Amino acid sequence: MIAGLSAVGSLQGAPGAPAPQGSASPGEGTSFEEALSQAVGSAVGTLQAGEAAAIQGVEGTIAPMKVVESVMAAQRSLQSIVSIRDKVVSAYQEIARMAI
């Protein structure tokens, strides 16, 4: 190892040295899969609530303002999920174009 780099390597555990970024262990926090699953589950719940509110609005059992609020929330959720899907597809296509 180069002498200058070995000195830098020895500073990693030294007191007062900054902790390396991204040093969290895999067991801490939520994984990407869990976060994505929660986002999709929340969006599905919002869409179902918007659909139920729309049906109740047609039946006349709920105020029109509540229908509008529920449908707008469902629309925002759907737009968010579509945006996430587009980013995932774009990332997949970029990885597929990489040379091996």
Residue 6 has pLDDT above 50, yes or no: no
For residue 86 the two structure tokens come to: 């587009």
Instruction: Judge contact between 21 and 62, C-beta under 8 A.
Output: no
The rounded percent of the chain whose pLDDT value lies above 90 is 60
Kindly report, residue by residue over 7-56, the tens digit of the pLDDT: 444 444 444 444 445 445 556 788 888 988 898 899 999 999 999 999 99
Domain spans in the chain, listed from the N-terminal domain onward: 30-100
**Dist CA 32 CA 38 (whole Å):** 10
Kindly report, residue by residue over 45-69, the tens digit of the pLDDT: 999 999 999 999 999 999 999 999 9
Where does residue 49 rank: exposed (0-12), middle (13-18), buried (19+ CB within 10 A)? middle
pTM above 0.85, yes or no: no
